[in-house]
Structure formats: structure tokens, C-alpha cells
Chains A and B, each alone.
Chain A
Amino acid sequence: MPEDTCDVAIIGRGPAGLQAAIHAGGKKAKVIVFGRPERSSLYKAHVANFCCSEKIISGKELLEAGKKQAENFDAIFLEQDITETRSENNRFTLVTENGETFSATTLILAMGIARKKLRVKGEKEFLGRGVSYCVDCDANFYRGMDVAVVGNESAAVSGALTLLGYAKKVYLICRKLTITDVLHEQLNHSDVRIIRDTWVKRIEGSNEVEAVLLTNGDVLKTNGIFVELGAKGAMELAANLGVVFDAETFSFIETNKKQETNIPGLYAVGDITGQPWQIAKAVGEGCVAGMEAAKYAKRLADS
């Protein structure tokens, strides 16, 4: 099998993704896991309620141990975010923040959930009138205008680079960037104007966004502000695959007891499928999805 092809691709390396990797690898599937350990909500946590371990365990240590276990089953780990997913000819295509493309028979979504809102004045008020949470959706409305993107990670940087194709000027407001060297290099060689070591304090305007006030006291004139915190999440990566979200909150992905979504070959596990936010639930779902995805990939390969 070529290096950029696998049976099971997993986005997210929290406990759900790791357990899925262990079980899919155990079934001899070729597994690639994408994402950064620090993004798991377990990374900074201490676990005291996980069955069969009386000691309080550090989340970081658990994640490291889980990675080693998965590697013992030949799972491959890539510390890159996924910025785009597509489904083509019954396979999934994943594009990483470095622009590399991978092809997978099955895909397990385990990226967890993260805060998407800035929680600043003007954010709610100007939603749809200059405030946007989706560069891919809304870039086209900002042709020839000045826009700003706020965020420290891959979603913000890839969003800012995308906006260069539409807007007149693109600003990136960030504290400290956590992205790969390759993406950093791309950013440095682009026309994106980077405003470092500051953050958005307030979004200002009369009828629509006219400026953002920064925490360093500067006022940046802009027609739009794209809020792109963290890595791309479920709505950004899964919705375009046609995944059905839960009817009640529209935030979580619907699955059955096999962790299957409505799309064949696509599974979801962990916090992304809803509460409770517990490691026990995450690994349980990961176990099921890992086995199911490996079986599914084998069945397709054998047919």
C-alpha cells in the first residue's frame, strides 16, 4: 500500500482516536492518526474516575502511553491538522495543513469539540454582517475588501491564505502560532499581514463591522473578521461529507451503536458524538469504531 493510502484514517489523537487506532491496528488494518496531542481535552487533565486505575493519572501520560500502544500495532502518527476532507469514489480524501493529500477507505472522526467563539463585544451583534466563522463558506462575500482572521492554529492560517484569493488585504491576528514549519513557511512567504502578540478585544461598527479593537490598544480597520480558533472541527470537516448532526443542538454527530454515521465508512467517536465528556465513554466508542472500520475496510478490499 502506498504511503499516502490507508485502511483507517483517524482525525484526532485523544483517547477516542487512540483506542480506535489500537483496535483497528489490532485487526491488521493500516492506520494513520492525524492531529496534535495538546488539542485533546485530556492533555491537561488528571483522571481519577477511570475504571481499574486507583491512582490519579496525568492525561498527558495516558495520551503518550496510548500512542505507544497504537504504534505497537503499526499505527502511523502525523502531527498535522486536517484542513479539508472530501469523499470520492467510495474513499475519503484528507488534506493536511502542509497541503499533503491522503486517501483512506474509512475515516474515524475523533477531533473532539472546542470553543469556536471569541466571546467579545460585537461578535454576536455583527454575525453575518462582518463576523464569520467559516472562511470556506463566506470568503466570496469579501471580494476586494479588507478582512482580518483571528486565531493561533491551522484553521486561522489556512483561512488567511485562502482569503488572499478574494480580499484586498488580509490580516492575521494571533498571539503565538501553533502550526507546522511548512505552513509557517507558506505564511511567511504570503501577502498575509501578521499582527502578533495581540488579540481581539471588541468588534466595532454601526450597521456592519468597520473595525476591531485589539488588546494592545490598536484599532484595525476591516470589513470583516473571521473567527477561526483551533483546528477545523466537525461542522467544517464533516458537514461537507453529508454527515447528519443531532437534531437537538446541531453540534454533535449522530451515530448508531457501531459508531457509524449516515455515510458508509465514516465513523464518529468521543466528545464529538455528545456528552458525557468522559475518557471511559471515549475509549469505549473508539474501541467499537476501530474494530468496525477495520472490518469494513477488509470487506471492501476482499470484494
Chain B
Amino acid sequence: MAEQGVLDVNDDNFESEILKAEKPALVDFWAPWCGPCKAIAPVMEELEETYGDSIIFARCNVDNSPNTPAQYSIRAIPTLILFQDGKVADQVVGAVPKSHLEAFVKKVL
């Protein structure tokens, strides 16, 4: 089991932690005022426990880090983007069930 949990990323470290990472990464763009974001947070944690060794699970607070979401044209939260080799492999908008998200991350395993 991975030990790091869901990693908090921001505008400053997004490039080093996600884009230049060796592993693929799933980033949850969220904000504290957003109900559906809160609903999906425990799902991210569960997936991290299962797949954390091969995929980075991260979250980016759009309130504190506006530049990164703007770069990816994010206009709804939660938006979850799967990154591989610094590029967007896929993305999903809205609070989706765990099975849906699990199938999503398996694409880059």
C-alpha cells in the first residue's frame, strides 16, 4: 500500500509533481464550497489505497490555484484529469461512481 495518500498539488508544483512525474497521475480539481467535490473525495482516497503504487492521486484546489485549471479550460468542478507523460490522457466531469473512476484509471495501468 502506498503511504503518501492523495497528494495536494498547486500552481507552483503542478509541473514537477504531475507533468514531469514518471508515473501517470489522476488529478481531482476541486474547491471547498463544492458539494459534489466533497462526495468524490473519499472515492479518490479509496482508489489511492488500491492503485497508489502505480498511479499518483492528487487534488488541486481551484480556489488557491487558478492558473492550472485555466490552462486546462476547466469550467466545472469536480473535473478529474488523467495525465500521462505530461499530457491529458482523458478527463471526466462531475461526481461519478467509484466503478466508473476505477475503469478510468485502469486505462493507464
Contacts and interface: CB of A to CB of B under 8 A. Distances in A.
B60 to A, nearest CB: 14
A208 B76 CA distance: 12
Nearest to B96: A250
Contacts of A127: 76, 93-94
A235 interface: yes
Contacts of A235: 35-36, 39, 95
A264 interface: no
Contact of A137 (B42, B77, B91, B99): B77
Interface stretch (A29-37, A40-48, A241-249): A241-249
B39 A141 contact: no
B74 A128 contact: yes
Contacts of A245: 39, 95
Number of contact residues on B: which range applies? 20 to 34
A134 B39 contact: no
B77 A129 contact: no
Contacts of B35: 134, 136-137, 235-240
B39 A250 contact: yes
B73 A208 contact: yes
B75 A141 contact: yes
Contact of A133 (B38, B39, B94, B98): B94
B84 to A, nearest CB: 20
Given A127-B93, A250-B96, A242 B74 contact: no
Nearest to B98: A247
24 contacts: A127-B76, A127-B94, A128-B79, A132-B75, A132-B76, A136-B34, A136-B35, A137-B35, A137-B36, A141-B69, A141-B74, A141-B76, A142-B75, A235-B35, A235-B39, A239-B36, A239-B38, A243-B39, A247-B97, A247-B99, A249-B97, A250-B39, A250-B95, A250-B96
